[in-house]
Chains A and B, each alone.
Chain A
Amino acid sequence: MHQPAKLATLIALAGSFTVGSAQADITIGVTLPLTGPASGLGIPVKNGIALWPQSIGGEKLNVIVLDDATDPTAGVKNARLFISEDKVDLIVGSVATPVAVAIVDVAAEGQTLQIAVSPAIVPDGRDGYTYRIAHSTAVMAHAMVEHMKKQGIKTVGFLGYGDAYGEAWLKDFTAKSQAAGIRLVAVERFQRSDTSVTAQALKLVAANPDAMLVVASGSGAAMPHRAIVERGFKGKIYQTHSAASRDLMRVGGKDVEGAYVVSGPATVAEQLPDSNPSKKPALQFVADYEKAYGPGSRNQFGAHAYDIRLVLETIVPAALKKAKPGTKEFRAALKDALEAAGPIAVSQGVLDYSPKDHWGFTPETGVILKVVNGDWKLEN
């Protein structure tokens, strides 16, 4: 781990970023899954980070990107390298939740701020140095339940992954919906690799709820959706923010027409009302990102990278007043500045971190999109 040659290779492999931390530069260590199953999430974040400015608050920015290959062991190794060798001021990553969770303890031990780009759930008190820039399921469930209330929905059927993501949604959605007087009448599970969910769809449709909630991700969200439609369900079907990508329409075709998908605001920047605090940053993100990577390339992960930049531009100047980068004092000042920053409007919502709340996003963050003619339409 301490061989300089190996370190150099890793960094060279990881891409196009500069190394070598001269004194007083702000050094940021980024660990992302650039290969492996979550590479589809890691690569857009890396693309977003490539658009970061050269300097923040008048100090040069050194960004070191390493690949964690969606492997918690590699992620922990990267985080330890960042802390012991590179003396980073801040760790960003990972996008893969299991990797981000593994880094939590390393960050706390090294007293270095970690900004996780995933909803990393850890027991209370262990995430002292960890803050998330990705939406929690609770925030998204809030937006969804608000929309259901407006639609007059009283009963909901749940069809979700039998994994941590499905569990988190079930827990948070149950809590929010009960408070709103909405009843879960049937709960069914499936696996991403299942070839059929006919049985589950039968049981759900037989329970005859007003609406269905499908908890799945990306292109995997289309199959259960179609199964429910094929069984003749006529009510509303809701999808979670993991399904808010164009893969839903690509795979789901006309069957996902009319689906409600909860999402962060960035992907529908143009449709946001002017009163939405995210409108300006979201438009800026879309303009920058699509200029660099082509029209239609916007996505929530690139937006997260942009949001980290906005957060840094808020907290770094405040921390610079207290200490010099590369020192223990500066890392502490960054943490204090983050918790004291108050509401920061970013492209994916409004962040308001506090010593107690390391999730940041305010409850009003989520927006509901409807699939109309194979495109997203913002619901009000």
Chain B
Amino acid sequence: MDASIASILALDGVTNGAVYALLAIATVLLFSVTRVLFLPQGEFVAYGALTLGMFQLGQTPGTVWLLLALTAFSVVTESVALLRRGQDFFSVLRHVRSVAAFPVLISMLSVWAAPKAPPLWVQALLTLGLVTPLGGMIWRIAFRPLADASVLVLLIVSVGVHFMLTGLALVFFGAEGYRNPAFWDERYSLGALTLSGQTVIMLAASAALIGLLWLFFERSLYGKALRATAVNRLGARIVGISTETAGRSAFLLAAFIGALSGLLVGPTTTIFYDSGFLIGLKGFVAAVFGGLASYPMAALGAVLLGMVESFGAFQASAFKEVIVFTAILPVLLWRSLRHPDHEEH
């Protein structure tokens, strides 16, 4: 291996690492706000890429029907619960409107726009608009009723949600993979390196999003409220922070980040209905690197993981995944030695 090969591998590693970093940050965010170890984070990646892929073919994406079905399900169950609690009909109707308005609108817009082959950026926006509310619906259906359950129960539920989302993806997108066109089809040569426009977009989008999230959590009142929920649910509720809103926002944000990652990786590889899991799992490993608490450490872990992956694939491609997932063992050991009592808050 010489310097030029090493630099190409490093660039490849950093590019993949940037996507893992986004997923790692979403995982840390969800865990710290809701205590859910959200394994299906990667599924949003697949949903994002496949939704855009179907838009590209001029078809109505399966996500539309999935979103409408989940919306209908949560509207019905929640309305029944509210009526039983003695709420009057009109307040239930207002609730239904607030839950279903956006999903129904964006679905109608997508059905209308899909056959017209709008420009790529419009399709990308529609994709984000379709996948993001899925996060909210999953929270409503699977996690809200269990908000006070133990971390283990929430983990088991998230495994269930993972299987559900993979199965539904097969139904709605089919078994074949999609590869999306690049957002920016430009190539720059830097010595031995070829920097494609898509790589630049991936790195820039990840860096920007990480920066924005940092600003959000450090500078805005809303972000601070989310952090407060993470530190102490009861305390946050006493000082008037709605833990419900916090949970929903966290899931929406996670779905948004996932869908965005899907748009970013879509042009570099073929995404299948079940591709998300492994990508999400790598994001999860990176999140563990940051102790499921630190955003900068998670991002750093993700970039390291991307590097280990690309150099590992170069040295021994048959054992790439073994190398990547073995890398987590020393990290776990190190973390448990450093924070022996790092269990539940």
**A associates with B:** yes
Chain A interface residues toward B at CB < 8 A: 36-40, 162, 188-200, 202-203, 206, 218-220, 222-223, 230, 247, 251-252
- Which one of B16, B177, B314 contacts A195 once the chains associate, using CB atoms below 8 Å? B16
CB neighbours of A206 from chain B (8 A): 5
Q: CB-nearest residue of chain A relative to B20?
A: A195
CB neighbours of A190 from chain B (8 A): 313, 317, 320
Whether A247 lies near B269 (C-beta < 8 A) is no
CB neighbours of A36 from chain B (8 A): 170
Say yes or no for B150: interface residue by CB 8 A criterion: no
CB neighbours of B311 from chain A (8 A): 199
Report the minimal beta-carbon distance from B307 to chain A, rounded to whole angstroms.
11
Whether A219 lies near B178 (C-beta < 8 A) is yes
Report the minimal beta-carbon distance from A345 to chain B, rounded to whole angstroms.
31
Report the minimal beta-carbon distance from B137 to chain A, rounded to whole angstroms.
24
Whether A220 lies near B272 (C-beta < 8 A) is yes
Whether B269 lies near A196 (C-beta < 8 A) is yes
Q: CB-nearest residue of chain B relative to A194?
A: B269
Whether A198 lies near B12 (C-beta < 8 A) is yes
A283–B330 CA distance with the chains assembled, in angstroms = 61
Report, nearest first, the 9 A-B pairs whose CB atoms are least far apart: A199-B313, A219-B177, A199-B314, A40-B175, A198-B12, A189-B318, A193-B278, A223-B270, A188-B317
- A–B complex contacts, Cβ < 8 Å, 21 sampled: A40-B174, A188-B317, A190-B313, A190-B317, A191-B278, A193-B272, A195-B268, A195-B269, A196-B268, A196-B310, A198-B310, A199-B313, A199-B317, A200-B313, A200-B314, A203-B314, A219-B177, A219-B270, A222-B179, A223-B179, A230-B194
Whether B176 lies near A218 (C-beta < 8 A) is yes
Q: CB-nearest residue of chain A relative to B269?
A: A195
Whether B177 lies near A218 (C-beta < 8 A) is yes
CB-CB contacts below 8 Å: B294-319 with A:
310-314, 317-318
A37-B175, A192-B272, A219-B270 as given contacts; A198 in contact with B318, CB under 8 Å? no
The CB with the most chain A CB atoms within 10 A, among B15, B269, B318, is that of: B269
Q: CB-nearest residue of chain A relative to B275?
A: A193
Say yes or no for B279: interface residue by CB 8 A criterion: yes
CB neighbours of B272 from chain A (8 A): 192-193, 219-220
Whether A202 lies near B270 (C-beta < 8 A) is no
A39–B310 CA distance with the chains assembled, in angstroms = 33
CB neighbours of A197 from chain B (8 A): 313
A194–B278 CA distance with the chains assembled, in angstroms = 8
Say yes or no for B244: interface residue by CB 8 A criterion: no
Whether A251 lies near B178 (C-beta < 8 A) is yes
Chain B interface residues toward A at CB < 8 A: 5, 8-9, 12, 15-16, 19, 170, 174-179, 194, 265, 268-270, 272, 274-275, 277-279, 310-314, 317-318, 320-321
CB neighbours of B314 from chain A (8 A): 199-200, 202-203
Report the minimal beta-carbon distance from B48 to chain A, rounded to whole angstroms.
14
Report the minimal beta-carbon distance from A201 to chain B, rounded to whole angstroms.
10
Whether A251 lies near B177 (C-beta < 8 A) is yes
A196–B194 CA distance with the chains assembled, in angstroms = 15
Whether B270 lies near A222 (C-beta < 8 A) is yes
Whether B270 lies near A39 (C-beta < 8 A) is no
Report the minimal beta-carbon distance from A70 to chain B, rounded to whole angstroms.
10
Report the minimal beta-carbon distance from A284 to chain B, rounded to whole angstroms.
28
- Which one of A188, A200, A223 contacts B269 once the chains associate, using CB atoms below 8 Å? A223
A190–B5 CA distance with the chains assembled, in angstroms = 19
A37–B166 CA distance with the chains assembled, in angstroms = 11
CB neighbours of B278 from chain A (8 A): 191, 193
Report the minimal beta-carbon distance from A193 to chain B, rounded to whole angstroms.
4
Whether A247 lies near B176 (C-beta < 8 A) is yes
A252–B181 CA distance with the chains assembled, in angstroms = 11
The CB with the most chain A CB atoms within 10 A, among B12, B177, B317, B320, is that of: B317
Q: CB-nearest residue of chain B relative to A203?
A: B314
Whether B12 lies near A247 (C-beta < 8 A) is no
CB neighbours of A223 from chain B (8 A): 179, 269-270
Report the minimal beta-carbon distance from B16 to chain A, rounded to whole angstroms.
6
CB neighbours of A222 from chain B (8 A): 179, 270
CB neighbours of B265 from chain A (8 A): 195
CB neighbours of B176 from chain A (8 A): 40, 218-219, 247
CB neighbours of A219 from chain B (8 A): 176-179, 270, 272
A219–B178 CA distance with the chains assembled, in angstroms = 7
Known: A162-B318, A195-B19, A199-B312. 19 other contacts (CB 8 A): A36-B170, A39-B170, A188-B317, A189-B318, A190-B320, A191-B278, A191-B321, A195-B16, A195-B279, A196-B313, A206-B5, A219-B177, A219-B270, A222-B179, A222-B270, A223-B179, A247-B176, A251-B270, A252-B179
Q: CB-nearest residue of chain A relative to B276?
A: A193
Whether A202 lies near B179 (C-beta < 8 A) is no
CB neighbours of A200 from chain B (8 A): 313-314, 317
Whether A220 lies near B317 (C-beta < 8 A) is no
A203–B174 CA distance with the chains assembled, in angstroms = 33
A197–B177 CA distance with the chains assembled, in angstroms = 16
